[in-house]
Each structure stands twice: as structure tokens, then as C-alpha cells.
Amino acid sequence: MEDLQYNTKRKPLIIPEYGRHIHTMIDQIHEIESREERNKMAKAVIGVMGNLNPHLRDVPDFQHKLWDQLFMMSDFKLDVDSPFEKPQEHILKAKPDRISYPTSVQKYRFYGNNIIQMIKVARTWEEGEMKDALVYNIANHMKKCFLNWNKDTVEDVLIFEHLNELSEGKLKVNEDLLPLTESSEFLRARSKNGNGPRSNNSFNKNRNRNKRSRY
């Protein structure tokens, strides 16, 4: 009885999506002494790889991607002529920089980190109409975020207090641009987008419709 070969005892596949046959074909190219023959075999393998991904033929740089994968599956040891620049092993295998975990605890989390970053940027701008417009839009967005969290209403003065606190007293909305957008406008827009609370009438209508469909 022929000995069975288990995948656990075989060489790991670098790109499993292509299967073991493609990897074996690439390994066989290494054994060919003639460079011309190696180039022919490499192009043949590229053709097979392309046939395995017909849905990607119209993707830009598709051929470039296939050649990069060919070198990757050869562990960057394949010595053939490529129509593209050969990929650099140290670049493709480089690990991304570690992302530091935020250590600061935000007091008003419902505003989100984007608002905090926008406030930091606004503090660096020179005084003028552009900065006034930015600060006004920041305050307006803070009001929208507050209503998404509180789902009721909020006075502009509270938003101004929070803006003053988060900017360490550096930002203030120009009085000529006041008032901010009315709370009702934000709530109405939210309802149109389907984020508002469902009324009892709509709930009862759906329930009655479901009952009728059962009989």
C-alpha cells in the first residue's frame, strides 16, 4: 500500500490559495539549469495563476501582482527575468509599527476623538474668518454628537462651556455667527435617516400586519 502523505508533514504553503501544485511547479523551476527554460516555465506558471483568478484580469497591475506572488512563493529565491521590478523581501516581510494604545481618559466621550483632534488643530490656526468658521463648525458638530448621546435637547451655552474646557480656554465661538443649529433640526434629520425612536403607532401597525399575514 502506497504511503499516504499528510499536509502536516509537508512543506507549509506560502500562499495557500494557489494550492500545492502551483508551489510544486515553482519549486521545479529552481531545478532547471537553463535560464531561458526557467523564464519559459515562470511565464507558464504565471498563466496558470492568472487562470485561477479570472475575476481579477481587469484589475490594474494584475500581472504585476502575479509576478510578485510568484517570487513570494519561491521564498524570493527564484532566479528568472521579470517584466517588473522584483519585490524586496525585507519590505514585504516588514512588520507594521506598533500602534500605541490611548492612555488618556476622555471626559466627554460622546464627542469622540475626532472632535478632540479638530480642537487641537483649531488652536494652532491664526485668528481670522477661517478659524472662526472652523470653531463654529466644531461647536455645531459637538451639539450634534451631544444630541446623538442624550437624544433630547441641549442649550448652546452648555456646548460653549464644554468647548472652552476641552480647548483649555483657547477657543470661543464668534458671536456674529450665532446661534448654532437648532436641536430640532438635528433631531429631525436623525428621524429622516431612520435613527429616531419608533412610535407606538408604527409598532402597532407592523404587529397587526404580521398577525394578518399569519392567517
Q: Give me the DSSP letters along 54-117.
A: GGGTTSTTHHHHHHHHHHHHTTT------SSPPPPHHHHTPPPPPPPPP-PPPS-GGGHHHHHH
> 168: phi > 0 → left, psi -120 to 50 → alpha, else beta; which?
left
Q: Could you say which DSSP state residue 172 is in?
A: -
Distance (Å, whole) CA 43 – CA 30: 14
Q: Residue-wise pLDDT tens for the chain (215 aa)?
A: 456 666 677 788 899 999 999 999 999 998 999 999 999 999 999 999 999 888 877 777 898 999 999 999 999 999 999 999 888 888 877 888 887 766 665 788 889 889 999 999 999 999 999 999 999 999 999 999 999 887 778 899 999 999 999 999 999 999 999 999 998 888 887 666 655 544 444 445 554 555 444 44
Q: How many CA atoms lie within 13 A of 121 on its CB side?
A: 13
Look at the alpha carbons of 62, 67, 70, 71 in this order and tell me if their dihedral is positive or negative: negative
